[in-house]
Structure formats: C-alpha cells, structure tokens
Amino acid sequence: MTTQTPSNRQIQYLFTVALASLLILGTARIVLDSLKNGQSPFLQLLHLGNKHEVLRVPVTINDDDVVEEGCNVFEGNWVWDNISSPLYTEESCPYLVKQVTCSRNGRPDSLYQNWRWQPNACNLPRFDALKLLEVLRNKRLMFVGDSIQRGMFDSMVCLVQSVIPDGKKSLQRIPPRKIFTAKEYNASIEYFWAPFIVESNSDNATNHTVVKRVVNLDSISKHGKQWDGVDILVFESYIWWMYKPLINATFGSPYNVLEYKVATAYRLALETWANWIETNINPRNQEVYFMSMSPTHLWSWEWKRRSEGNCFNESHPIHGSYWGTGSKLEIMEIVRDALEKVKLDVTLLNITQLSEYRKDGHTSVYGERKGKLLTREQRSDPKNFADCIHWCLPGVPDTWNEILYAHLLKNYRSKRNKLSPPPF
C-alpha cells in the first residue's frame, strides 16, 4: 500500500479549518458564559458590504434580579451590613453636592452608610449598574419634585456613574433641570425642579420663595412640556406643602389668590397632575412612578420619651413600630385615591414607613443652609440649625433607588417576554 504525504496546500487548508473551528467554539463559549452570568452584552461585528453593524444581545434578567411575586418590599427591617453597604462612597462619586456629603462636611460617624433594607418575605435584587444602563439604553429617566427628589437623582447618578469610563459621561445643570448623560448608551438620568408638581411662584430652581408661596392648582402645561416624551417619570411632592396649615393658591383664575387648606389644595393639584398623565402618557412605552412622602425627624420625643432634641447625634435606626407626626396620613390617603382613579398604571413607591425608622440618616448640622455650610457656631446649636429633612449620601435614598431598580428590571423583562416569539 502506498501512503501519500499531504501536500502543503492540504496542510494549510486543514490548519485553516481547525483554527476557524476553535474561533467559533470560543466565541460561542463567551456568548453563553456572558448570558449565563448576566454580564454586559457581548458585541459582534458583522461585515455587511463596506459597513460594520453592532449587534447587542439583550440584557438578561434572571429570577434573582426581580422581586418575588406578591412580596411587599416596603415591609421589613434595617440590618447592619458593612460588607455590601454602601454601594458607593463620597470619594467615588464626583457629582455629589455639599448639601449631602455629610462625612466630608465633618460628620464624625459613618454608621448611617452601613444599614441595608431587608424586606420580610423576600430580597431586593443586588443593584447592577450595567444592567440598569442597558435597561435605560436610548431612554430618559426623569425625577420630578423638590430637593428630596433631587437627592434621589443624585443617588441614582452615583449608583451608575462608576461603570462608565471618563469622557463617556457628563452632568449638565440647565435650571430647572440637571441632566446626567451616559453617551455610549444614549441614555440620560434627569432631574426637574417642581416642588408642587403643578406650577407655582417657587418654580425657579435657584431663586425661589419659601414664605410667600403661591400655587397654581390647575396649571401644569409649562412643566408638562419638559416631561413630554420622557420614558420613565418619577414624581414626588410633599414637604413644600407643609409650611403652614393653609396655603395661598389659585384655581380657575390665575389672579384670584385664595387661602386653601393644604389637604384640599394637594388633592386639587394631584387631580391636575392625573389629568396630564391620562392625556400625555403612552403606557406601551412609558412608565410612571409616584414616591410617597419622605419623613422628617424634627422631635426626638417621638422615639425617645422626655427628650427635647431632634435628629442630631442619632446614629442608629428606630427598631419596632414607629410613625412620626411629620408624615400626614391624610396626604397618604389623597395620594392613594388619586393613583386609584388614574386610568393608567402608576406605581406607588411607598418609601415612607421604611424611611421613618432612619432618624440617623439626615444631614443634621453637616449640610448646607442657603448654599453655605453651617458655621461652627451654628453647628453648636442643633436645636435651631439641624436639618432633619434632607438625607446624607450614601444613605437612605440609595434604598429608594434599589426599589425603583427592581421595578424597572421587572417591567423590562415583562415587556421583553411579550415581544418574544412563542417557542416552536
């Protein structure tokens, strides 16, 4: 029998086939591993004529990324966790403003950063900035409200910005808006100053009146133009209504200013907002959330009998049943009624009770007043100068965003499942 020695051409051909097979198998393995681990999408370049197009595998939302059906994430406890909390630091987020950087401003303890919210019957999904950015690809997420809502915006920016390379992210301040842009995702996280949601004489983001406030209860169109077409809207409005039992407002005629009970005015404002939602929101491609009131901790006698202080020098959450007098149940009922009557789905982010426990999370004397840090003399007088309304970051607003994140991922998966073709 004669044995033929393979020619150089045959050897070259076999080598090419073997190399191509290895490349195909390696590529398939990377794709499968990427999908299995839920990592950022794998990119392929396909040569089509003289063009290259980028194909992206949709982000994978696993069961661990969504809250179990029927679980109330708003019922639970704060647990000590100095391993996985905080999700970022003051130093790692260059976009934080002085109002919320309590540690940098001199707060001696950092315990407030290490408490994690644990629902009773399930777990919150671990925040994954890359997954959220994929969910937000080609979308706008906008927070609408007062300075409490601005803190939630700041928190969300800090939660996602660290995974975006320098030069691929930016923050613009265009009052009454702040706009954080993730360029490679064509996504934006925005904030819009509207302390009453409806229009008022306090709508200037930097120069607004606190004492002589007048609310236009049936006017919202100017604001609405800024919200038009936004993919995900998160509304909040409470503390600005609580200055006095009565509030000056107009309804019908912009020149006829009358005194309204706060609850009455708040209900009328939410009716105006609900009408805008029903008229302008397309539920097929837009999502709307409403955040319940952020509590205050102005009087320590509410959680510590016979004491005369406030949130100053508090370092631990309240354990056990607690509801402060600063959170008005009547306002909560008005919100619930309004959302039930809206003909579109609006998700209530009921953060009030879980935040009630966090008397330790406020900026206290380690924030700003009128744009300036407190002086040494002012810090020595916490009874008059402690801020028990706003929150330190990292801190409580991060948990609000973790809950929002869970909703966004769940809705993303639900929409993708509806679009997916049925199995063969």
Catalytic (active-site) positions = 147, 387, 390
Residue 23 DSSP one-character state: H
Task: Report d(CA 203, CA 106) in Å as an integer.
Answer: 32
Tell me how many degrees the CA angle 409-413-417 measures, rounded to the nearest 5: 170
Q: Letter for the amino acid at 176?
A: P
User: Is the distance from CB of 397 to CB of 152 less than 8 angstroms?
Assistant: yes
Give the C-alpha separation, 293 to 348, whole Å.
11
Q: Please state, in angstroms and rounded to a whole number, the distance separating the CA atoms of residues 344 and 285.
A: 12
Q: Which residue has the tokens 């020695």?
A: 5
Distance CA 361, CA 398 (A): 11
Q: How far is it, in rounded angstroms, from Cα 123 to Cα 102?
A: 28
3-class secondary structure, 377: helix
Question: 36-45: which pairs have CB atoms within 8 A and are 24 or more residues apart?
Answer: 38/62, 38/65, 38/128, 38/131, 39/130, 40/130, 40/134, 41/134
Rounded CA separation 255/313 (Å): 46
b/e map 232-242, b = 16+ CB within 10 Å: bbbbbbbbbbb
Q: Is 34 exposed, middle or buried (0-12, 13-18, 19+ CB in 10 A)?
A: middle
